[in-house]
A and B are shown apart, each in its own frame.
Chain A
Amino acid sequence: MRESHQCEGSTFGGMKRCIRADIDRAIAYASAYSGHHVSLLRRLSFALTPPVMCVMLHRVAHLAHARGYRRLGHFLARINQVIHRAAISPTSCVGPGLYMPHTSGIVLHAISGANLTLYYRACALPTAPIVPRGTTAPLRGAANHAVPRLGRDVTLGVFSVVYGAVVLKDRVFVGATMSVVDNLESGVNLFPLSVRSAYGSRATAHA
């Protein structure tokens, strides 16, 4: 990804800051420790939980890829996929505070700001070079320029899909099973019809 050199996680210090933020975010979501002082030992124990390990492995893979060790980056991403079942491209530039409570089935190839939350089987992918019909020779490297761009505090729900070169601005919430193929403004919440009918106006829908 072209923007990888601008990514905070592409330097060693930045990677450490990102991992610290990732662990802090995981702790914040663990209700058992809310409001309590978190010791270093507790922080280390959190680093051994699968969601945080998965994120850390991606951070290392991204750092390796950004520093020129592309094969090592892809190899680490592959290990991550085998262990945690999450296919996160090492080219994905994700800001600090990435949180994935259940890593299975997550597929990520995108650029994202801080505090991204991905739930089970969430998917953010660029447009594939395979086009439906007509064009048979898309631009070389087109997929790398067509990655989704996610802002800060974006949440992708269970089975949700973000596909193509779309821009999701800050604080967008994509609910379960929703597919996004167009840009979304800040603060938009997308919910399936069943949730809208159950919660009424609290769930705002935008086409």
Chain B
Amino acid sequence: MITWSETRARMREDRERIARVLTESEGSAPRFLWMHPCYQCAVLHRLSHYCFRHGHPFAARFIWHLNLFLTGGDISMLSDIGGGFVALHPSAVTMVGTTGRNCTVIGPGGIGGGTPRIDDIGAGPGLPVLGDGVTLAPGSLVVGPIRVGHDVFVGAGAVVSRDIADGASLAPGWHPSSARPGELANA
């Protein structure tokens, strides 16, 4: 079960990484970072997840909905997201599953279930598990109970429904049938 100190540590990692990313993209970090939707989205998810894991489902659900209302990010309270999470444009981002540290979602897209497979590989029935340093480009989706390795880049509009090897860089519009050698894990 996630502790409060661990939740705070993840928030700190989120803040530092978001500030770094915004500095690199805009030249300087916003003076009021807590007003930025990217940071609000991460913090509200942390609180929602903490409440849910500590037996406060109503508070968790309320914060989840508040997040959805304020930022447009639909980050489920069930999702276990590692520190350093960045949703650059949280509007229309959906996250249900487990990710490692430094996960980045650039635009609309996300991870979740929605496939006929409902086996549990560690994130819940039918949900994916992502490694550290995974980046999702706009419009990309990771669906179903699959494992995505570390440092994977998912191109714009790609739909990932198979296990992906570490370090793979998937082309825009990628589909399992268009996979190149070395991209799929256990292939």
1/0 contact trace for B84-97 toward A, CB 8 Å? Answer: 00101101100000
What residues on B are CB-neighbors of A177 within 8 Å? 157
* Given contacts A87-B72, A163-B156, A105 and B27 within 8 Å (CB-CB): no
* Given contacts A121-B92, A128-B88, A181 and B172 within 8 Å (CB-CB): yes
What residues on B are CB-neighbors of A78 within 8 Å? 35, 37
Q: A161 near B139 (CB under 8 angstroms)? A: yes
* Given contacts A78-B37, A85-B72, A179-B157, A133 and B107 within 8 Å (CB-CB): no
Q: B25 near A107 (CB under 8 angstroms)? A: no
Interface locus among A111-119, A141-149, A197-205: A141-149
* Given contacts A87-B89, A179-B172, A161 and B107 within 8 Å (CB-CB): yes
Q: A82 near B70 (CB under 8 angstroms)? A: yes
What residues on B are CB-neighbors of A123 within 8 Å? 107-108, 138-139
Q: Min CB distance, B75 to chain A, in Å?
A: 16
Q: Which residues of B contact A (CB under 8 A)?
A: 21, 23-27, 30, 35, 37, 69-72, 86, 88-89, 91-92, 104, 106-108, 133, 135, 137-139, 151-153, 155-157, 167, 169, 172-173
Q: Min CB distance, A49 to chain B, in Å?
A: 21
Q: B157 near A178 (CB under 8 angstroms)? A: yes
Is A130 interfacial (CB-CB < 8 Å)?
A: yes
Q: A107 near B138 (CB under 8 angstroms)? A: yes
Distance, CA A76 to CA B108, complexed state (A): 21
Distance, CA A181 to CA B86, complexed state (A): 22
Q: A161 near B156 (CB under 8 angstroms)? A: yes
- 9 inter-chain pairs at a CB distance below 8 angstroms, sorted by A residue, are A78-B37, A105-B92, A107-B92, A128-B104, A144-B26, A161-B107, A161-B156, A161-B157, A179-B139
